Structure 1
Amino acid sequence: MKIARRGQVSLEFMLVFGIMLILLLYSVNSITFQQGSTSTETLKMQILLEEKSLANAIAGTIAQVYAQGPGAKSTTYVKVTYLAEPDYLQKASGSAKVSVGASNSFVFVGVGDQLRTADVGNEEKNTVLTEMPYTSVGKGIVFPDGLPAKSVRIIVEWDPSRDEDWNARVVGSYLEITININPGG
C-alpha cells in the first residue's frame, strides 16, 4: 500500500512540475523573445540609448572645440551596435534611415522617416536632442540604411575661413563624421 502512495505522489509532482515548466517557458518566450530575437520594445529602448550616446559624444566634442576657440580641433571615438544594423532599425521603427545633425542649439540623432522628439499620439519618440554651446545654421547627414560602420570617429574643428559643414565617409573600419563649426560666421 505504501508503494502505490509513493508512486502517486511522484506522478503528481511530475505533473505539477511539468505544467509549471511549460508556463515558465511560455511566459519567458512571450515576454522576452519575438521570433528568436530581442523584443521590439527592448530594441527601441536600446536604439534610443545608443542615439543619446552618439548625440552626447558629438555635442561634447563640439563643446570642447568651441571652448578652445578658432583653430581648435578634437576627435572622439564611439562604438555603436544597433544604429549600424538596418534589420534592427527596421524592426524597431519601420525604417532603417538614421539622421545625424544640428539644429538651433541642439545636436540630434534620429531613426525613421519622420523625426519625433516627443511621444505624439500613437507615435513614439525616435529622436534625441543634446544641447551644444552655440546656435547652428542647421546641418546634418542622412544614412538611408543605418550607419555604415560600428565604429564612429567624430572630428570637430573650428576653421573660421569655412562655413559650418557636416560630412561623413567610411575610412577603413570607421565611419568618419567631420564637422566644421563656425559660430557667428
Structure 2
Amino acid sequence: MRIVRRGQVSLEFMLVFGIMLVLMLYSVNSITFQQGSTSAETLNMQILLEEKNLANTIAGTVAQVYAQGPGAKSTTYAKVTYLAEPDYLQKTFGSTSVTIKGSGNSVMVWVGSNSVTSGDNKNTVTTEVPYSFKEASLPFPNGLPSKSVRIVVEWNPDKAEGWSSKTVDGYLEIRININPVGDHEEGTDQP
C-alpha cells in the first residue's frame, strides 16, 4: 500500500504542477508582446519620433544654407525605419500616406490624409525654421520609398523656390531650393 500511496502523491503533484505551469505560461504570453509585433502605442510614439527627426534634419539643413547666404548648398542624411514601412503606418494610423511639407516658417511631417497637431490622434510634428517657405509639399502615398533619406538644400538665386523628390542610388533624395530674395516680397526674409 505504501508504494501506491507514494505514486499517488507524485501523480497529484505532477498534475498540480502541470496545471500551474500551463496557467503561468498563458499569463506570461498574454501580457508580453508576440515576437515581431509591437503595441500600437509604442509604434505610434516611435513613428512620431522618426517624423520629428526627419523634420529637424530638413529644418536644420535649411537653416544652415539660409545662414550661409546665396550660392550655399548643404547635404544631410537621415535614416528612417517606420516611415518606410506601410504595414506599420497602416497598423498605427490607418493610412500609409506620408507627407513632408514646408509652409511659412515651419517644416511638417505627418502620416495620414490630414494633419492633426494635437490630442490623442496626433499624427504631425512641426519644426520651426528661420526662413518663410512658400507652401510646398511632398506626398508619398505608400510610405517613404527608402529607409535612407538624402536632403539637399541650396540657395540658388537663379532658380525659383521649390521642393522635389526622387529615388537615387537607394536614397530618397529631397531637393529644396530656397530663394528669399527672388520669390518673396522685397525686403523680407533677407539674412
- TM-score for both structures, normalised by structure 1: 0.87
Give the distance between the partners of 2:162 and 2:115, measured in 1 at CA: 21
Q: How many residues align?
A: 178
Query: Of the candidates 132, 144, 162, which is equivalent to residue 135 of structure 1?
Result: 132
Measure how far apart 1:12 and its partner are.
3.2
Tell me which residue corresponds to 2:179.
182
Q: Within 5 A, what are the aligned runs for 1:3-14?
A: 3=6, 5=9, 8-14=12-18
Unaligned runs of 5+ in 1: none
Q: TM-score, normalised by structure 2?
A: 0.84
Which secondary structure state, in structure 2, belongs to the residue aligned with residue 133 of structure 1?
A: strand
Structure 2: which 5+ residue stretches go unaligned?
183-191
Residue in 2 aligned with 1:18? Answer: 22
Counterpart secondary structure, 2:53: helix
Between 73-82 and 36-45, report the one with greater CA deviation.
36-45
Structural RMSD (CA): 2.0
- Identity among equivalent pairs (%): 56
Aligned to 1:149: 146
Q: Could you tell me how far 1:129 is from its partner in structure 2?
A: 0.3
For the residues of structure 1 that align with 2:171 and 2:114, how far apart are their CA atoms?
A: 27
Name the CA distance, whole Å, in 1 between partners of 2:140 and 2:62: 21
CA shift digits 1:132-183 (9 cap, x unpaired): 1121111121111111111110000011222211000111201110000122
1:33 positional shift: 4.2
Contact 1:33 1:39 in 2 (8 A): no
After the TM superposition, which of the residue ranges 41-50 and 3-12 deviates more from structure 2?
A: 3-12
Secondary structure, in 3 states, of the residue corresponding to 1:37? coil
* Deviation for aligned residue 1:54: 0.5
Q: How big is each residue's C-alpha offset from its partner over 1:68-125, in whole Å with a ceiling of 9 and x where there is no partner?
A: 1111000001111111112221221111111112111111111100111112xxx601
Deviation at 1:8, TM superposition (A): 4.2
Contact 1:101–1:166 (8 Å) recurs in 2: no
Specify the code of the residue in structure 2 equivalent to 1:26.
S
Within a 5 Å distance, the mapping from 1:40-59 to structure 2 comes to: 40-59=40-59
